[in-house]
Structure 1
Amino acid sequence: MNQATLSQLPDEPAPILPAVQPTLRSKRLRLRPFDISDARVVQLLAGDKEVAHNTRLIPHPYPDGLAEAWITSLPAIYEAGKGVSFAITLPAGDVIGSIGLMINSVDNHAEMGYWVGRPYWNHGYCTEAAQAVLKYAFDKLKLERVFANYLARNPASGRVLSKLGMTQEGCFRSHRFKHGQYEDLIVCGVLRKEFAAKKS
């Protein structure tokens, strides 16, 4: 790529996130910014072997201090317009998981990632939280596309994405190296117009 080509590249757009991270609400859940006081429960829930086993990036064992470091990093990521992470909480305030968007403002799309603690599986919480985040992504942030991925051996996560109206877009073969073996990664996505049609 020569200098002339570089000069023709578009400038990166300004962050599309509002100045203050909002709190989202659904029928049973409240999605709020993380606080450093959430670190202990994040380590407890995310550090569960079954939770870590079914995610791309969560390690097991979960090291001391990692939750604090992650939570501390979130405000800068938000302020730069690169992503937003929500603590998934019950009405009483209990943190049960996390959901967020990593935003590509140049292409106006985002990758959604999430996990829910094992005691809260099979209650529909993940689907409900993801619906709220997709609504925020399309209605407020005006993103064109949101995508997510899951390990091929974890069809339960695929069912969540299907309920959200996401379409399987491809398979990245041997894409993730986890626990000593290569894993296939299934990618699913939904466009703004598809989400709007599903709502209507």
Structure 2
Amino acid sequence: MTHKFETQRLFLRFFELSDAKVVQELAGNEEVARTTLSIPYPYPDGAAEKWIETVRQSSEKGDSYAFAIIKKDDGALIGNMSMGVSSKHKRAELAYWIGKPFWGQGYATEAARRIVQFGFEDLELNRIFAAAMTKNPGSYKVMTKIGMKEEGTFPQHVLKWGVYEDLVFYGMMQSEYLKNSALEFKDNF
């Protein structure tokens, strides 16, 4: 099973230690960190290297997969598309961030579609879900665009920078994915 993917405008590959400086710069932007639960601000030196090593080990075990999102045209690393897997329940949580200079260009949607395909077709998951802070509509618009349905809001579900934030959850079952894929295939012919 390969862990390097291609879309129309992007390559998705595992992170390398040489990506650490760009990860720290992009993820360390205050606006990116503000709506992403696990990103610290300010982003400490050495944290990106530690994170890259951690996600590499997790992907080797099949617990999670973190893909660097790379623009084909110039090779720029622009973000992260991750999937934390629960093998026991055959489900995964999709999570992502995009560097601020690359917001609003459809890169997250394009990368998410490919990683959802990987989850359902290669990993044979039954369900993929994602959550976003309600104050981050850009994130949950991605979820809608890839075919996920809103499943509910959890009030004050997480504590970020001293404030309790509401999370909105979206999800999709493999059966829905396969139905949507069949319809898209049919529409293209």
The CA distance in 2 between the partners of 1:79 and 1:179, in whole Å, is 32
- Structure 2, gaps ≥5 residues long: 184-189
Cα RMSD (Å): 1.0
- Distance, in Å, in 2 between the alignment partners of 1:75 and 1:52 is 22
Aligned to 1:163: 145
AA paired with 2:169? V
SS at match of 1:134: helix
The reply on whether 1:153 has 2:118 as its aligned counterpart is no
TM-score w.r.t. length of structure 2: 0.93
1:145 deviation in Å?
0.4
The structure 1 residue matched to 2:29, chosen from 38, 48, 63, is 48
Structure with larger Rg = 1
Q: In terms of mean alpha carbon deviation, does 182-191 or 163-172 score higher?
A: 163-172
Q: CA deviation at 1:153?
A: 1.1
Distance 2:15 2:62 in 1: 17
Instruction: State whether structure 2 residue 93 is matched by structure 1 residue 118.
Output: no
Q: What CA distance in whole angstroms lies between the structure 2 residues aligned with 1:56 and 1:75?
A: 20
Between the two proteins, the alignment pairs up a number of residues equal to 181
Report the TM-score when normalising by structure 1. Answer: 0.88
Alignment of 1:59-98 (within 5 A): 59-91=40-72, 92-98=74-80
Deviations 1:71-125 (A, max 9, x none): 0112221122211110000113210000111000000000010000000011100
Matched, 1:141 2:123: yes
Q: Distance in 2 between matches of 1:116 and 1:154?
A: 13
Query: Which AA in structure 2 matches 1:76?
Result: Q
Residues 1:100 and 2:103 aligned together:
no
Corresponding residue for residue 6 of structure 1: none
Quick one: distance in 1 between partners of 2:104 and 2:28? 19
Deviation of the 1:196 alpha carbon: 1.7
Cα distance in 2 for partners of 1:110, 1:37 equals 27
TM-aligned CA deviation for residue 22 of structure 1: 1.3
- Letter aligned with residue 117 of structure 1: G
Long gaps (5+) in structure 1: 1-17
User: Percent same amino acid among aligned pairs?
Assistant: 42
CA distance in 2, matches of 1:90, 1:153: 27
> Deviation above 4 Å: which 4+ runs of structure 1?
none
Alignment partner, residue 186 of structure 2: none
